[in-house]
Amino acid sequence: MPHRIIQAEWLAPQVRRLVVEAPHVVRHCGPGQFVIVRADAQGERIPLTIARADRERGTIDLIVQAVGASTHAICELAAGEALADVAGPLGRPTEIENFGHAVIVGGGVGTAVIYPQARALKDKGNYVSAIIGGRSKPYVILEKELSAICDAVYPCTDDGSYGFKGFVTERLKLLIEQTDRPVKAVICAGPVPMMRAVADLTRPLNIHTIASLNPIMVDGTGMCGGCRVQVDGKTLFACVDGPEFDAHKVDFRELADRLTAYRDQEQRAMERHQCRLHVHTVAAK
Amino acid sequence: MKPAERMKIPRQAMPSRDPSERARTFREVNLGLPEEIARREAERCLDCKDPKCVRGCPVQIDIPKFIKLVAAGDFAGAAASLLADNALPGISGRVCPQERQCEQVCIRCNKGQPVAIGYLERFVADWAREHLNGQTAAPAAPSGYRVAVVGSGPAGLTAAGELAKRGHSVTVFEALHEPGGVLVYGIPEFRLPKEIVRKEVDSLRRMGVQILTNVIIGRTYTIDDLLTEEGFHAVFIANGAGLPVFMGIPGENLKGVYSANEFLTRVNLMKAYDPDSLTPILRPKKAVVVGGGNTAMDAVRTCRRLGADPAVLVYRRSRAEMPARAEEIMHAEEEGIVFMMLTNPVAILGDDKGWVRAVRCQKMGLGEPDKSGRPRPVPIAGSEFDIECDVVVEAIGVRANPLLTKTTPDLKLNDKGYIVVDENGMTSKPGVFAGGDIVRGAATVILAMGDGKKTAAAIDRYLREKVPLAGR
């Protein structure tokens, strides 16, 4: 059953938002859950966070960063085209409480993962701060959307071209030190080194910290075990036990290492993908 | 023909692809019996008064009947008879452990080899697929009842067919993007071509069965949704066993260590053996597969086809205790798989970049029988040794997937998390039935098909006796 894309736009270089018809997915989905998507019948199964669910329209927002051949293929789709498969919602929804002051931290496309938490945290009565980062100004995404929900939004860039100059963790440290509302919970998503740095920052301060993990996954239903991560010395499956875990207990070193398992294959797939695109472009001319 | 003449005919051999070719191709190993050979094999059946083979069959196929029709050359008659008893003979004819079921109890075992019932089942199924052009019996008049089937593996597909035959409107929900369950993600192409599964699924569709892929019951819909808002009168849960078990030894999260489920899913469902597939797989140069069942055999033979030399199978008991089908073990040997019996991994060793470099094993001896009745493997002290490899596949079993059961709190489970059913296959929740691996734990395709068939009959009785239809 193909899923029509009703809207598609670039949010940042190589980062695309797709609004996709998926009426069966929106029915039970909650913040923190994801879907598995295939662009076409030959496609790889790619897990993507449900960035937003519109129950009335029966659509979900997916925010995709083109990194490999499969994500490039998804990003090349335009409004009116369709995804071959959308399965979900998968994973466990975030357990949201009234923490008091909750900070959501998103790095790069990880901001798409923490975006749905903002609304859920707000609905529970939290004071919500968002710290969102990117390499430079164009890479900071969803600032407007988060500003409409959160009490404060702190954009950060590595090069200082916009907002705070420095990493999101540095901004988080400042916020924790300077705010008169003590930070009670942190939810983070982004590159593994970023999540690890957030965990290292909040661990000694005993601030409850959740990380949304992005390991390699095939089926997303617990069947393959490819997404196994070590949490508190135990092997858990991100797809059925997560994808969110206590950041203070995650073995980030192992997670980062396992994410590199197919680097060579991905490189070759990417070369073939670009080669095919080139052939198409030449043929079109 | 007199019994004495029948007794003189030797068991016919299954033609198969040359082993040297097999190590490089995923094309099917067994090639099927030619018509003449099939008729000759069928003539070996003594048509005994007490056909034990029928009782040895989990779906109670009337074996002597279809075999007699094959011997007479009435293949259409044989097909009609076989298909009435078993909706998926092209599948069971290929993957059943016949040597432990119908063929084990064949009277001809008393003096020589049993009738090759499995080969003949496959022959008739393949003949039907080629000659009947997917025609199916006309479905019964619509009953007005709607049944949801959760999972499209062997139990689900069988139940769907049986229910449709009785006039019920059936919807099958599949979590993956392709129907077939273990038949498409688990069993490799060289043992069960996916085209056969697709054709079986197509014929169910022609019978009016609706199949919805990408729907995860327990997440997309709950069982209660199906019974209320979605308007189903009964549900059959056949979502399989699920989560892979790991050995729990050091080094299992190194790169290059797979569960058999992941390894086989990448290769079979996602076609990773095709260099053009977007789904990657680590192509083993030297592989170690752990386990002794059919899944282990599938994994190690897949490793071989992806280029592993050697492809080593490590099993902690001895050859005699291996649960795999006899034919798979034979084929694996022909293909040059190295069998290391009475050997158990104690650690997986990695290099400084996090890649597997070897499996450390210890030798085992056999002790007193354990709970399963098989001799317990006992480690031999000081016997550790390393097997060099770059890929390890663990095929040591699965445990119950909690995804559906966790969102259905009123389903009674056993201590291992599998669903408890009564003699009719009904769970603790009225109108909700279950069968296959989610009830049994990891078992076989044919036992799942047996559950599907038996439970479909029970669901039919339940609906007609217990569920009044609105407007009647």
Note whether B228 contacts A: Cβ–Cβ < 8 A: no
**How many Å apart are CA B446 and CA B386, to the nearest integer?**
38
Q: Name the residue among B216, B244, B259 with its Cβ closest to that of A90.
A: B216
List pLDDT tens digits, range B249-265: 999 999 999 999 999 99
Polymer length of chain B: 472
With CB atoms and an 8 Å threshold, state whether A258 touches B255: yes
Q: Name the residue among A90, A218, A269 with its Cβ closest to that of B278.
A: A269
**How many Å apart are CA A89 and CA A25, to the nearest integer?**
6
Q: Which residues of A touch B279 (CB under 8 A)?
A: 44-45, 218
With CB atoms and an 8 Å threshold, state whether A85 touches B213: yes
Of A126-140, A192-206, B282-296, B436-450, least confident by mean pLDDT is B436-450
Q: What's the token pair of residue B119? A: 């080969």
**How many Å apart are CA B213 and CA A126, to the nearest integer?**
39
**How many Å apart are CA B276 and CA B344, to the nearest integer?**
36
User: Residue A281: what pLDDT?
Assistant: 59
List pLDDT tens digits, range B138-157: 667 899 999 999 999 999 99
By percentage, how much of chain B surpasses pLDDT 90? Answer: 84
Q: Which residues, listed in sequence order, are joined to residue B150 by a DSSP beta bridge? A: B173, B237
Q: Which residues of B touch A225 (CB under 8 A)?
A: 243-244, 246, 259, 261-262
Q: Cα dist. A218→B36, B130, B180, B282, B382 in Å?
A: 45, 35, 17, 14, 39
User: Residue B138: what pLDDT?
Assistant: 67
User: Residue A212: what pLDDT?
Assistant: 97
Closest listed residue to residue A102, CA positions, set A160, A175, A48:
A175
Mean pLDDT on B400-423: 93
* Helix orientation angle between B194-206 and B154-165, rounded to the nearest 10 degrees: 30
**How many Å apart are CA B171 and CA B83, to the nearest integer?**
21
With CB atoms and an 8 Å threshold, state whether A225 touches B221: no
| Neighbour-count burial of B141, counting CB atoms closer than 10 A to its CB (0-12 exposed, 13-18 middle, 19+ buried) | exposed
User: Residue A278: what pLDDT?
Assistant: 67
Residue of B205, B214, B261 to mutate for A, most A C-beta atoms under 10 A: B214
Q: Name the residue among A89, A226, A266 with its Cβ closest to that of B262.
A: A226
Assess whether pLDDT exceeds 90 at residue B168: yes
Q: Where are the alpha helices (DSSP H) in B306-436?
A: 326-334, 402-406
Structure-model confidence comparison of residues B185 and A267, the more confident one? B185
Assess whether pLDDT exceeds 80 at residue B133: no
β-pairing, A228-231 vs A234-237, is antiparallel
- Confidence class of residue B468 from pLDDT cuts 50, 70 and 90? confident
* Helix orientation angle between B63-71 and B117-131, rounded to the nearest 10 degrees: 70
Closest listed residue to residue A11, CA positions, set A45, A53, A61, A48:
A61
**How many Å apart are CA B472 and CA B459, to the nearest integer?**
20
User: Residue B140: what pLDDT?
Assistant: 79
Assess whether pLDDT exceeds 70 at residue A284: no
Task: Give this complex's ipTM.
Answer: 0.93
Closest listed residue to residue A60, CA positions, set A4, A119, A130:
A4
Mean pLDDT, chain A, rounded, equals 93
- Residue A25 near residue A11, CB atoms below 8 Å: no
With CB atoms and an 8 Å threshold, state whether B279 touches A260: no
β-pairing, A152-157 vs A127-134, is parallel
Q: Determine the distance from the C-alpha atom of residue A55 to the mean position of all C-alpha atoms in its chain, rounded to a whole number.
A: 20
What SS3 string covers chain A?
A: CCEEEEEEEEEECCEEEEEEECHHHHCCCCCCCEEEEECCCCCCCEEEEEEEEECCCCEEEEEEECCCHHHHHHHCCCCCCEECEEEEEECCCCCCCCCCEEEEEEEHHHHHHHHHHHHHHHHCCCEEEEEEEECCHHHCCCHHHHHCCCCEEEEEECCCCCCEECCHHHHHHHHHHHCCCCEEEEEEECCHHHHHHHHHHHCCCCCEEEEECCCCCCCCCCCCCCCEEEECCEEEEHHHHCCEEEHHHECHHHHHHHCCCCHHHHHHHHHHHHHHHHHHHHHHC
Mean pLDDT, chain B, rounded, equals 93
- Residue A128 near residue A121, CB atoms below 8 Å: yes
Closest listed residue to residue B30, CA positions, set B436, B357, B325:
B325
Write b or e for each residue in A51-75: b if 16 or more Cβ atoms lie within 10 A of its Cβ, otherwise e. bbbeeeeebbbbbbbbebbbbbbbb
- Residue B434 near residue B149, CB atoms below 8 Å: no
Q: Which residues of A touch B258 (CB under 8 A)?
A: 226
Of A265-269, B351-355, B362-366, least confident by mean pLDDT is A265-269
Mean pLDDT on A138-158: 96
Please count the residue pairs, one from chain A and one from chain B, whose beta carbons lie less than 8 angstroms apart. Answer: 120
User: Residue A179: what pLDDT?
Assistant: 86
User: Residue A279: what pLDDT?
Assistant: 64
Of A140-144, B143-147, B235-239, B270-274, least confident by mean pLDDT is B270-274
**How many Å apart are CA B38 and CA B121, to the nearest integer?**
10
**How many Å apart are CA B158 and CA B152, to the nearest integer?**
9
By percentage, how much of chain A surpasses pLDDT 90? Answer: 87
List pLDDT tens digits, range B319-330: 988 999 989 999
Residue of A221, A236, A273, A275 to mutate for B, most B C-beta atoms under 10 A: A221
Q: What's the token pair of residue B272? A: 């990773």
Assess whether pLDDT exceeds 60 at residue B373: yes
User: Residue A282: what pLDDT?
Assistant: 58
**How many Å apart are CA A256 and CA B204, to the nearest integer?**
45
Assess whether pLDDT exceeds 60 at residue B471: no
- Confidence class of residue B135 from pLDDT cuts 50, 70 and 90? low
**How many Å apart are CA A244 and CA B225, to the nearest integer?**
26
User: Residue B472: what pLDDT?
Assistant: 47
Mean pLDDT on B271-286: 91
Closest listed residue to residue A106, CA positions, set A178, A187, A175, A17:
A187
User: Residue B469: what pLDDT?
Assistant: 83
Q: Which residues of A touch B262 (CB under 8 A)?
A: 218, 224-226
